Amino acid sequence: MKVLFVSAEAAPFAKVGGLADVAGALPKALRRLGHDARLVMPLYRMIEDDPRWRLQTTVEHFDVEMNPRWTKGATFKETEHDGLPVGFIGTDEWYTEAVSSETLYYPGGMQHLFFCAAVIKAMEELDWIPDVIHVNDWHTGFLPVLLKEKAGPRWANVPSVFTIHNLAYQGEFGLDALEALGLPHSLFHYERTEAYGYVNFLKAGCAYADRVNTVSENYACEIQTAEFGARLEGLMRHLAEDGRLSGILNGIDTDVFNPATDLDIPFHFSADEPANKARNRAALLKELDLPVDPATPLFGVVSRLSSQKGLDLIVEAAETLFDLPIRLVIQGLGDPKISKALRDLEKRFPQNFRFVEAFDAPLAQRVYAGCDGFLMPSAFEPCGLGQMIAMRYGTVPVVRRTGGLADTVFEGVNGFVFDRLEPMALVAAVTRAADAYSDPGRWQKIMLEGMTSDFGWDASAKKYARLYRDAHADLTEEEAKTA
């Protein structure tokens, strides 16, 4: 199949969160299965200015008619990365700043609407119409709308698959979003694009896509409840009853996240030869200026600092946690209140705790490789990649049983799990982990169980290929009924 994968971010070109890792890895896995998968994303200035990518201009200029009164010029550039063709859509007005959570998640929606319209026009300019178009998160939610409402006969047999990576981010804007694309106000309706008085980009994608999926089986169930549904639980239940909602667990790029070859860690190791993990641990402790004590387990966190990720839970539990024989390092950026609390904790517990307030990808790899345990006490977690990466590096996860964490981490087998979103529940799980660490034979067994688990993309890519075929079959059947 010809698969067009559309995302606002993709590793290694531009990364804010887990979506970028998926966008950088899943299309490559689809190509390994023999599909002609291609990726398209915005041409951020940071990408255009980076000579590593060796961009080639494929279409110097094409016009994107947003509506009868507004046409914008665009350009299309391409490169190939690890065998994957990657296309970039640029324009003078937007994408001029480095991608960040602020520029990607919080600006107005016009640049995302333009990107959706430009994807369709660019593929027509290239004369490459895919068999299926796979769009991701709210930034691309209007692509399924445009395919059904405006794209024309060349796209009539092209189904769309919409993946929800995090239902909490929905993209809510005014009626000018419809006007910008020349769409009628009649689409501002609870069965189409409207939710709670706003044009909701994510709801629009779900309402119009032929298939909707999310990034773990458990999260697909959770978002049908009021607790996790972010006010769209009714729509999620409707999609499930209609057979249009599914969950497919994310994977990780096992070539990138490989302790046997990772250039960002000082000593290489593997499940077959794990001895060097201890040397990475000692090196990390020295780097952090913490005592090198093999008897005291070192736990790590690499995360956005937010309540969703459970960082407030760690702060609340800190007094009791540091009564245990453990040490902890947290690396990340985010909520200023959480950052201040962590800085205060570092001053109070200098022998037990380090806080690195930075986005530092190489350091993150050293944390994964050098820690004994990895904390993910998330309030909710659609899939989670950190626990998979940690296990790949022999670092045992301690997680809350939610979303994809519940699908990947199992008590006493490859990690430790707690249920209640309470500080003492976290403390109890860390205590169980510390007790297991004191038994080297038991800890080694748990560690190796995680290291030998298959968290690669190939199995999930096969499920996506089946999802694409099902979406195509559904569209063909629907057309036959209306013919």
Nearest residue to 122 via CA among 73, 171, 51 = 73
Of 251, 41, 18, the closest CA to residue 135 belongs to 41
List, for residues 62-111, the tens digit of each pLDDT value. 999 999 999 999 999 999 999 999 999 999 888 887 787 777 766 679 99
Q: Which CATH number does 277-451 carry?
A: 3.40.50.2000
Q: What is the pLDDT of residue 299?
A: 98
Report whether 114 contacts 139 (CB < 8 A).
no
15 is in an annotated binding site: yes
pTM: 0.93
> Which class is domain 2-251+458-482?
alpha beta
Q: Are 126 and 85 in contact (CB under 8 A)?
A: no
Q: Which H or E run contains 233?
A: helix 233-241
| Alpha-carbon distances of 430 from 348, 353, 355, 390, 397, rounded to whole Å | 20, 15, 19, 16, 10
Give the HSE-up count for residue 313: Cα atoms under 13 Å, Cβ half-sphere.
26
Residue 394 · residue 280 · CB < 8 Å:
no
**Cα–Cα distance measured from residue 345 to residue 140, given in angstroms and rounded to the nearest whole number:** 40
Mean pLDDT of 288-303: 96
pLDDT reading at 253 higher than 80: yes
Q: pLDDT tens digits for 215-241?
A: 999 999 999 999 999 999 999 999 999
Distance (Å, rounded) from C-alpha 324 to C-alpha 2?
Answer: 54
| Domain spans of the chain, in order of start | 2-251+458-482, 277-451
pLDDT given at position 474: 82
pLDDT over threshold 60, residue 309: yes
Residue 96 pLDDT: 83
DSSP-assigned letters across all residues of 446-469: HHHHHHTS---SHHHHHHHHHHHH
Write down how long the chain is: 483
Instruction: With CA atoms as reference, report the closest residue to 24 among 111, 78, 82.
Output: 82
* Three-state secondary-structure class, residue 220: helix
- The answer to whether domain 2-251+458-482 and domain 277-451 are alike in fold is yes
